[in-house]
Amino acid sequence: MKDVFMKAFGGLAVAQGELAGWSEEFKKFYSSGYRCPGCNERLLTTFGVITVDFYSKNGNKIPLWKLVVYKADFAECPKCRHRWPVKGTGYVETPAKLEILGIRETDREEEEIGTDKRVIDNSMSSVGSKRKFTVSKQWAKSYSVEYEKTQTENSGISVGLEDIGIKASLEETIRKQFAISEETREVYSEEVEINIPGSTKLNVFFHWKKIWQHGYVKFKNQEGELSEVPFRVAIGVTFDQLQVDEKTGT
C-alpha cells in the first residue's frame, strides 16, 4: 500500500515535471515512488523528504531548499552514487533575476606609481629666484572586483560569484557610476612654484600616487537575498613633493 501511495504522489510531481521540462530519467524517479534508477532504493525519509543530492552543471552541490531557484542540472543517489540529468530537451532556462540596489563607497587608498625628478640649477648666481613650471601625469581609470569576497547579508559568509551575466551587470554598474571607459585616458597637471636660493642646485622629486576608491555594490541575488561585492576604482592621481638642495659654495 505504501508503494502505491508513493507512486501516486510521485505521479502528481511528474505532471508538473512535464511542464517544467524534466528529463525522462527524473520523471521516472518520481513515478517509481522515489526510487533510484541505479540501485532501486527509495530515496525518501519517513517524513517525506527526498534524500537525493543535487548538483549544478559545474559540479557544485545545491541544497534542497534552493532548488526552486537554481533548478539543478543533475541528481545523484547518496547510496550508489548513480547520477542522472534533471533537465530534458524541453526544459526552458529561466534567466536569473538580478536587482542592483546601489553603490556604497567606503575608504580611499593611495598607491605609489613612480617618481619624476626635476633639477633646477641656480648655482651660477648668488641671487635667489623663483621658477614656475607644470608637472603632469597621464593615467587611465580602472577598476577591480573581488568576487570571491561577495557577502550575503543574512549569513555574513563570503562566497564567490560564478555567473557571467551577473558579473557583467555588476561591472556595468561600476563603469557608469564612475564614468569609466577603456578608451579614455586622463591627464593630471598642476602648476608648481619653486623658490631657489642663490648658489644652489635644487633637486625636486615628485612621488606620484594613484588614488583608489573602495566600496561595495549592493544587489539582490537570484534567491532574493541581499548581497554585497567589494570593488575598487582608480579615481585620480596626486603627488608628494620633496626638495633637496645642493649648495655649491660660489
Mean pLDDT to the nearest integer, 140-168 = 75
Kindly state the average pLDDT of the residues 96-119: 90
Q: What is the pLDDT of residues 45-98, one digit of tens each?
A: 877 788 899 988 878 888 776 665 557 889 999 999 999 998 877 665 555 567
Query: Measured between alpha carbons, how far is 111 from 217 in angstroms, rounded to an integer?
Result: 22
Residue whose entry in the numeric block shows the C-alpha cell 556595468: 172
What is the pLDDT confidence band of residue 99, given thresholds at 50, 70 and 90? confident
Does the pTM surpass 0.85? The reply is no
Share of the chain above pLDDT 70, in %: 76
The pLDDT of residue 136: 95
Over the stretch 168-204, which tens digit does the pLDDT of each residue have? 889 999 999 998 886 678 999 999 999 999 898 999 9
Q: What is the pLDDT of residues 7-28, one digit of tens each?
A: 444 444 444 545 457 788 888 8
User: Which of 32-46, 206-220, 231-245 is predicted least confidently?
Assistant: 32-46
Q: What is the DSSP string of 5-34?
A: HHHHHHHHHHHHHHHHTB-HHHHHHHHTTS
Mean of pLDDT values over 99-111? 94
- DSSP characters for 191-202? EEEEEE-TTEEE
Q: How far apart are CA 217 and CA 230, in angstroms?
A: 7
Which CATH code for domain 99-247?
Answer: 2.170.15
Average pLDDT over the chain reads 82
pLDDT band at 138 (very low <50, low <70, confident <90, very high): very high
- Quote the pLDDT of residue 236: 94
Q: Where in the chain is the domain with CATH 2.170.15?
A: 99-247
pLDDT at position 15 is 47
Q: Are 207 and 117 in contact (CB under 8 A)?
A: no
Looking at residue 56, what is its pLDDT? 84
